[in-house]
Structure 1
Amino acid sequence: MSATTEKFAKASIPSVNADIQLKDIIKTLPRECFQKDRRKAWSFLFINVLAVSLGYVGIATLPWFLLPLAWIFTGTALTGFFVLAHDCGHRSFAKRRWVNDWVGHIMTLPLIYPFHCWRILHDRHHLHTNKLLIDNAWDPWTLEDYTQTNPFVRRFYQALRGRFWWLGSIAHWAVLHFDLSQFPERDRAKVKVSIASVVIFAAVFFPTLIATTGIWGFVKFWLLPWLVYHFWMSTFTLVHHTAPNIQFRPAETWSAAEAQLAGTVHCTYPRWVEFLCHDINVHVPHHICVAIPSYNLRMAHESLKQNWGSHIQESKFSWALMKEIGDRCHLYHPEKAYQSFKDIQR
């Protein structure tokens, strides 16, 4: 057993008392956590735009052997664009709804991500976090679903739950966010506006980029930073709620307090990643209450550790962590949380 495996095997997070409601946890947070600060919000947006601009200057001017560093930096900064849109989607960026919607759309345009489509589907994730067959973010298949699906889809699932986890966000983006059937009728007008906005942007931007810089320019300036962005999106969202001891639960036994507090993971990344991505890794307080702006997440996390520390799950980003998740967290198991593909082959 590896050191990482042993650590996970020993991890024991006490279950949250059934009498505790999510509102009881929210009441323990300082009031300052929920306060919007216009100066901070727009300052971080301005810094993020500067970081992305710096990244593209690097891509345009650096010698070829430094381009991978420029792609990594730019893609990570573009992930910051998405996190700002994430605040907008939860109405925690600005007080006015129309400001949140405009900023959210602008931040997600370069990523070809339809804002309202993501916002509505993401709200579903928050309402049903770790609820089996209902949560739409890295929810594990049951053994029955896995064995009954066709072999091609099964292989695709195996890849995304294994060493190709970093492509998971692309699959989620492509399969769900442009499908009108995923959205209730009342939301479809907004959804269509968001889809139209990214389609028009792509129809103008991509031909212009290719005409001025060629196919290599398209790959260099857009595709590779976009792939880095999806690497972080896939990684963040997978690690947020996945560990060998985090149990997805059927609706009849599911508890919001347990799912949001003990089923959400705080993961530490290199500080430059956390800075460019606006502390999205400080994820437990965000699931306790989506109204907390990103710049107040650390304050809220410290409060949660003081009051609910025994229930907080923490990890550190590393290859060992991703290997552990990719090797073990494959299919739902009602007692052990997960069973691996190797387990069912034995």
Structure 2
Amino acid sequence: MQVYPNPSNFPVIDSSVRQNLPFTLKDVRSAIPAHCFEPSTARSLSYFCFDIGIIAGLIAIAAYLDSWLFFPIFWFAQGTMFWALFVVGHDCGHGSFSKHKWLNALIGHMSHSPILVPFHGWRISHRTHHANTANIDTDESWYPVTEAHYAEMGFLEKLMRFYLPLLAYPLYLFRRSPGKQGSHFMPSSSLFKPSERNDIIVSTVCWLAMVGFLATLTYQCGFLFLLKYYLGGYAVFVIWLDLVTFLHHTEDDIPWYRGEDWSFLKGALSTIDRDYGIFNLIHHHIGTHVAHHIFLNMPHYHLKEATEAIRPVLGGYYRKSNEPIWKSFFKSYFACHFVADSGSEIYYQSPHLH
């Protein structure tokens, strides 16, 4: 793994000097070919259609076989493709699916509503995350709690945040992360501006329509039908979503910042690229995350090329892990619980190591 420079290795200890990176956002941008920032509507649509087609085909095969020997395989495959579909909606949320805002919103809802994600509610909270990545005070997703906050957390909160993190996403949609209030479904939530009210209503209505469809399906065909053809795959999707997003930002040598010590570029560099093996292609290379955080409006199919272009500029500030995903997850699972109550350029700590 290429490691983010540790402050103790800097020859000059003055914090005002350490705040400055040896390159600017403009330097990084200039290294990337211009076409990497140009979305192709046809290409983006092809990924959406491919994912939908695979999901439909899997359901048809499962219905034809109707075998409990096959359903676990089906759930894994379906949940994996649900996650791929989420990534297509993710591009829509960043405006990198196409240059047409209406098309981004349409495909975003068609990608996210079937997997019970409120598109605009998620899009806006995700925007907050990107604008504040690695900022202890204002980040939105998988940010550390302070040691004092950790000591005050109740059993259920610790259970979901630290011991069952791969099942946390549905709860996050309703309750957000520790220390924050608001729902992704309510226009009155502090997540949203008054001007975004109509967007939130549209996404919530779409989400409720999907819930209504699933409820009708259950009423007509029974709960076992829902379990076989939807809930099993949905559970796998949630695990994928939590696993990948957790690993984007959770490692004990990734720095976090407070106050003036934080900057957008430093925060964007506090993430890490991961290798998911055969799933890289299936998941549209969402593990290529450093370039995405620096330039969030770049289509996913240009991220690999952009990453190779910026690596010489970033040097040791670029982070990539090639260790097995399960190993990375369990390492962070046990080592990353809280950060210090004060200071900046701080790192995760664990109560197990105190």
Tell whether the structures are fold-level matches, with TM greater than 0.5. yes
Tell me if the contact between 1:125 and 1:136 (Cα under 8 Å) persists in the aligned partners.
Answer: yes
Q: Which whole-Å CA distance do the structure 1 matches of 2:87 and 2:4 have between them?
A: 31
Deviation at 1:270, TM superposition (A): 2.4
- The answer for the alignment partner of 1:13 in structure 2 is 5
Tell me if the contact between 2:3 and 2:318 (Cα under 8 Å) persists in the aligned partners.
Answer: no
Q: 1:69 and 2:73 equivalent?
A: yes
Segments of 5+ residues of structure 1 without an aligned counterpart are: 1-6
Distance change (3 Å), C-alpha of 1:177 and 1:315:
same
Q: Which whole-Å CA distance do the structure 2 matches of 1:140 and 1:60 have between them?
A: 43
Aligned with 1:339 (options 330, 349, 353): 349
Deviation at 1:207, TM superposition (A): 2.7
- The answer for the alignment partner of 2:295 in structure 1 is 289
Q: Which whole-Å CA distance do the structure 1 matches of 2:253 and 2:242 have between them?
A: 20
Distance change (3 Å), C-alpha of 1:59 and 1:133:
farther
Tell me if the contact between 1:129 and 1:259 (Cα under 8 Å) persists in the aligned partners.
Answer: yes
Q: Which whole-Å CA distance do the structure 1 matches of 2:346 and 2:125 have between them?
A: 28
Deviations 1:65-99 (A, max 9, x none): 22111111111101111111111111111111001
Aligned with 1:126 (options 118, 124, 130): 130
SS state at 2:348 partner: strand
- The answer for the alignment partner of 2:42 in structure 1 is 39
- The answer for the alignment partner of 1:54 in structure 2 is 57
- The answer for the alignment partner of 1:173 in structure 2 is 173
Q: Which whole-Å CA distance do the structure 2 matches of 1:28 and 1:222 have between them?
A: 44
Identity of counterpart residues, as a percentage? 28
Q: Which whole-Å CA distance do the structure 2 matches of 1:247 and 1:12 have between them?
A: 8
Aligned with 1:117 (options 93, 109, 121): 121
Higher normalized helix content (fraction of residues): 1
Q: Which whole-Å CA distance do the structure 2 matches of 1:68 and 1:341 have between them?
A: 36
SS state at 2:222 partner: helix
Q: How does 1:112-261 map to 2 (within 5 A)?
A: 112-149=116-153, 151-152=154-155, 155-162=156-163, 164-175=164-175, 176-179=183-186, 180-181=188-189, 182-203=191-212, 205-261=213-269
Q: Which whole-Å CA distance do the structure 2 matches of 1:107 and 1:325 have between them?
A: 30
Tell me if the contact between 2:167 and 2:239 (Cα under 8 Å) persists in the aligned partners.
Answer: yes
Distance change (3 Å), C-alpha of 1:286 and 1:123:
same
Q: TM-score when scaled to structure 1?
A: 0.89
Q: Which whole-Å CA distance do the structure 1 matches of 2:26 and 2:158 have between them?
A: 36
Deviations 1:179-223 (A, max 9, x none): 4312121211211111112112321x1133213431011112111
Deviation at 1:11, TM superposition (A): 4.1
* Counterpart AA for 1:337: Y
Deviation at 1:341, TM superposition (A): 2.4
Distance change (3 Å), C-alpha of 1:17 and 1:31:
farther
Deviation at 1:232, TM superposition (A): 0.9
SS state at 1:195 partner: helix
Tell me if the contact between 1:14 and 1:311 (Cα under 8 Å) persists in the aligned partners.
Answer: no
Tell me if the contact between 1:22 and 1:256 (Cα under 8 Å) persists in the aligned partners.
Answer: no
Distance change (3 Å), C-alpha of 1:31 and 1:17:
farther
Q: How does 1:74-85 map to 2 (within 5 A)?
A: 74-85=78-89
Distance change (3 Å), C-alpha of 1:132 and 1:323:
same
Q: Which whole-Å CA distance do the structure 1 matches of 2:19 and 2:265 have between them?
A: 9
Deviation at 1:21, TM superposition (A): 3.4
Q: Which whole-Å CA distance do the structure 1 matches of 2:43 and 2:336 have between them?
A: 38
Q: Which whole-Å CA distance do the structure 1 matches of 2:6 and 2:305 have between them?
A: 23
Moved more, 191-200 or 205-214: 205-214
Aligned with 2:110 (options 103, 106, 111): 106
* Counterpart AA for 2:291: P
